[in-house]
Every structure is written in structure tokens, then in C-alpha cells.
Amino acid sequence: MRNLVFTFLILSVFACANSSTDTANVAKAVVTSQPIKVAPIQKDTIKPEKKKSRFTMTDPARPIGEMNTTFPYDIALKDAKGNMLNSSDILKSNGKPTVVLFWLTTCFPCRLELIAIQKEIDAWKKETDFNIVAISTDFEKNYKNFVKRVDESKWSFDAYVDVNREFRKVMPGELNGLPQSFIFDKDGEIVYHSRKYSTGDEHKLYAKIKEVANSK
């Protein structure tokens, strides 16, 4: 019996020794194994093309250096019938004051000013001799709205669209804030300028028209 116990103990010792040796060998294999090489990630050097916005608009206006910047200018205009004209033919140098009303179809104060002037224009014309035109600065896409407004309003004065929106480049303040009214004297000099509209401003405009018309 004692021999059997002794034999079992010896076998256990050898088994533990072998197990320790195997574990050491595994650990050594792990330590001495070669590191895995990972290929570097290639970055895409080609930048994606930016999509153009469908709302991008180009400015059709000429550079200021190519324009006549003094009255009567040389700016392309279009009437409600589609006729193309030039400001040099519309803005007359005939010894009379010339009133130019700048407006937009989308501008409510512009609508009010033009209605107010239309109510008074016949009486003004009977008393004072002067020229008057209304020039819209609408974008080309709103031309149909311009035609509709002109047809509905039946103004007693001519109206045009600034086709390339060039008047903003030659007028004081770049026509920022509409409506705007200008009076040019017989020599083509600006003698009156008003911006925006409040009820009664049409009477201030006419008072200045009479003053300029009666000056020598």
C-alpha cells in the first residue's frame, strides 16, 4: 500500500514539472512571437467637388469703369411691352427737371408712393412742366410681375426695368432701401433725393419740382 502511495506522489511531481515547462514554453512563444505588421491606411488625396448651389446668381452689371456714370447714363432698360431702350434716350435733357422714381414690385412702400403720385400727377403737370419716369430694379425673374403691375396701375408716366440692375452702381448709396426719388435739374445735376416713403412725401417731392422748374 505504501508503495502505491509513493509511486503516485512521484508521478504527480513529474506531471506538475511538465505542466510548468509547457506553460513557460507557451509564455516564451508569446513573448518572442513577431509583431503583426499593419499596412498604413491610404488617405484619399482627391477632394470631392463642391456642388454648386442652385441659388447662385451672377451679376450681369458691367464694371463701373465701362459705364457712363453721369446723367443721362447709358443703362439698358426694358418697358412692359418688351421693347429694349437706353437711359440716354429716356432721360431727356430738354431744359426741364427730370424726376426718376426707383422701385421694386416686391416693395410695399414703393406701391404706396406710386399710387400717391398717380393721384396727383395730372394736377402737377397742369401747373408745372417736368419729366418723370419710374424705373424698377427688379431681377429678370420678376419681369412678369413688373408687366402685371404696369398694366394694372395705368400710370400717367412711363415705367421701365433696369435690365442689368446697373443704376445701383451709379446712384448715391447704391439705391439701398427703396423707394428712392431723385430730381435732376436741366443740367442733369441731382438737386433732390429722398429715401423710403411716408404719407405726404409726394407733396414734398412736388414742392421741390416746382422750385427747380422755376429756377433760372
Judgement on whether residues 7 and 108 belong to the same structural domain of the protein: no
Domain assignment of residue 44, yes or no: no
Model confidence pLDDT, tens digit, residues 136-191: 999 999 999 999 999 999 999 999 999 999 999 999 999 999 999 999 999 999 99
In sequence order, what are the beta bridge partners of 75? none
**Alpha carbon distance 46, 203 (integer Å):** 65
Q: 80 and 5 in one domain?
A: no
Q: Does some domain include residue 42?
A: no
pTM, 2 dp? 0.74
Q: Which residues does residue 161 pair with via DSSP β-bridges, in sequence order? A: 78, 136
Averaged pLDDT for residues 56-64: 86
What range defines the domain where residue 23 resides? Answer: 1-29
Residue 56 lies in a domain: no
Identify whether 137 is part of a domain: yes
Q: What is the reported pLDDT for 87?
A: 98
Are residues 83 and 23 both part of a single domain? no
Q: Has residue 116 been placed in a domain?
A: yes
Domain count, the chain: 2
> Closest by alpha carbon to 189, among 86, 76, 63, 93?
93
Query: In this structure, are residues 205 and 99 in contact, taking their beta carbons and an 8 Å threshold?
Result: yes
Residues 90 and 165 in one domain: yes
Coil/strand/helix, residue 93: coil
Please indicate, yes or no, whether residues 110 and 207 belong to a single structural domain of this protein. yes
Do 16 and 82 fall into the same domain? no
The x, y and z cell numbers of residue 181, run together, are 426719388
Report whether pLDDT(211) > 90: yes
User: Strand, coil or helix: what is 119?
Assistant: helix
For residue 138, being part of any structural domain is answered with yes
Task: Tell me, yes or no, whether 83 and 184 share the same domain.
Answer: yes
